[in-house]
Amino acid sequence: MLGGVRQRPPLGSSVSQPLPGRSRRYAVAQPFPEGWDMEVEDEEGFEEVVGGCLVQHGQVWNGDVKIHYVECGDKNGELVVLIHGFPNFWYVWKNQFLALAEAGYHVVAPDLRGYNTSSKPDGIQCYGRSAVVSDMVLLIDHLGNGKPATVVGHDWGGFVTWALAEDFPQKVKKAVLANVPHSSVFGSALRSSLRQIRRSWYIGFFQLPWLPEWLMTGNGCKTLKAALGGIPSFQPLDVDRHVKAYEKAGVIKGAINYYRAAFRDYWSAVTPRSTPVELPVDLIWGELDDFLGIELAVIPSTVATNVVIKLLPHSSHWPMWDDPKQFNSVLLDSIRSQHATPADQVHEIPVVSSSEGLVD
């Protein structure tokens, strides 16, 4: 709740300790207490320390659908919305919170509908384009002080960001995409590239009823643990947070329903665009992505006309985890810059190496 902070529910021990000489907003993360219950994050106003930054939990309602979010930074600052993908939730942005907050931004990371403690409506159509985008419009209206937001999306959150920029450009100051192509580029690759079809085999599997949910949640989310545990930059605590989020009733089904909705054409624009997106778009791409080929990073001028593509040669599908310092530097540069660059080409400036940082 923006108007005030509720008293933190008793957790049995302290979760954070303020840094000397700093605002209480920024604090040192401590291990979670034994038996810590993630359900408390559904308490509006609950605070915890994530990635060294004190974040506050809140919620907005889109009709009967609750959208849970965390926020940090200056609530009078420029709004930056961070939208997660699959198989993640708001926590995937933990390494960006402190950098963005210290830069003066109002940082908001929602759980998409179907994920974590956000509502999980029944019906595949409830996870289509118009429904999901309307959640983000409401969030921006509620927290943006009447101004458009910079929207940053990763994976499925990137598809949401693209749709938001196309359908409600007045709500978006700038779109920043992390390892996600435009849906038209991705769809074309799935029709023509055997390599991409093999990489995206799970999309077809997710169309089956109940079996994907059973496989993902069985044996204490063993499959999810194995998938996330195989990402070198994910620590055991990070995997545990994800498992706790996905163990909640209906989360796996809600998350997979995005793929089912897309397969059933619920993610097509109601009114196809006759003109490309003109607002600034930055595409940050880890070249070691095992799921999406680098060729998908090229955005045709028929899709967007003001695009810059920033390649991270040593990052994977999760560039914000592989090298947070590097990614945050590129992200802050993207948020601050307003460019006008012809699309239809891959820009190698700035190219980033893990050892050198940004180079021209």
Q: Which residues are known to be catalytic?
A: 155, 259, 317
Bridge partners of 55, per DSSP, are 48
Strand duo 149-154 + 79-83: pairing: parallel
Coarse DSSP helix, strand, coil percentages of the chain, rounded to the nearest 5 percent: 40, 20, 40
CB atoms near residue 131 (< 10 Å): 18
CA distances from 14 to 94, 133, 295 (A): 19, 37, 47
Phi, psi of 249 (to 5 degrees): -60, 130
Spatial contact of 84 and 154, defined as CB atoms under 8 Å apart: yes
DSSP string, 309-338: EEEETT--S-HHHH-HHHHHHHHHHHHH--
